[in-house]
Amino acid sequence: MIGIYDYTVILTYGNAIFSVVGMYLALTQHLVEAIFCLVLSGICDMFDGFVANLKERTKSEMNYGIQIDSLADLISFGVFPTVLGYASGLTQGIYLPLFVFYILAALIRLAHYNVTEMERKEQSSSCREYYEGLPVTSSAALIPLLFFIAGRLHIEISLIYPAALLIIGFLFISKVKIKKVDPRKLIFGAFLGAVLAFIIR
């Protein structure tokens, strides 16, 4: 079989698997469980690079890892949030352009990051301190927190979700400099919000 199947990519595949399961759960109206899957996808993405670097990889294996990571991220943090929107009541055709925009913005952001990151690594071995535009993985924290806040304030999620997708999508492709934050803090906040939403539902 083509592809790589060792432990270096297991979390990347887990990222994609959790998002597909989450989309199924969302479309069958198990929204809280679906949001948990989004957070789990984010956790997989957070640690996949660390796990991959435990092994001395060939250039081909490294390139494969970069590509498969971005493809998984597009599913999890590009497509999955729009499915959550559809499952939350945004079923009218008027929301289709919004979904297209959001997914396209995530796609562009991922491609741009891959190109600039490869160029940066050729020039410097230092760690990146700032992101240009909002990383797509942030959806794994922002969207669960949005659902939690909406639930706590008794706000219909379908009233605020379109604006959230629009803003997040624009931030994906913006040139704004965002200081790199420890993603573990964001994911922990999202996970805590998802747990609380499950408890109080």
pLDDT given for residue 54 in this prediction? 82
User: How many separate domains does the chain show?
Assistant: 1
196 domain residue, yes or no: yes
Measured distance CA(111)–CA(132) in Å, rounded: 13
pTM of the model: 0.87
Q: Which residues pair with 64 in a beta bridge?
A: none
Q: Which residues pair with 130 in a beta bridge?
A: 179
The CATH number of the domain holding residue 86 is 1.20.120
pLDDT given for residue 199 in this prediction? 47
1 domain residue, yes or no: no
100 domain residue, yes or no: yes
Strand intervals (E) in 35-118: none
- Cα–Cα distances (Å) from 21 to 16, 80, 165, in that order, read 9, 10, 21
86 domain residue, yes or no: yes
What's 153's DSSP letter? T
pLDDT per residue as tens, the chain (201 positions):
888 888 889 999 999 999 999 999 999 999 989 998 998 998 898 888 788 878 888 888 888 888 899 999 999 999 999 999 999 999 999 999 999 999 999 999 999 888 887 776 666 666 666 777 888 998 998 898 898 888 888 899 999 999 999 999 999 999 887 776 655 565 556 566 555 555 445
32 domain residue, yes or no: yes
2 domain residue, yes or no: no
How many CB atoms sit inside 10 A of residue 58's CB? 9
pLDDT given for residue 197 in this prediction? 53
172 domain residue, yes or no: yes
Give the domain extent around 39.
7-200
pLDDT given for residue 4 in this prediction? 86
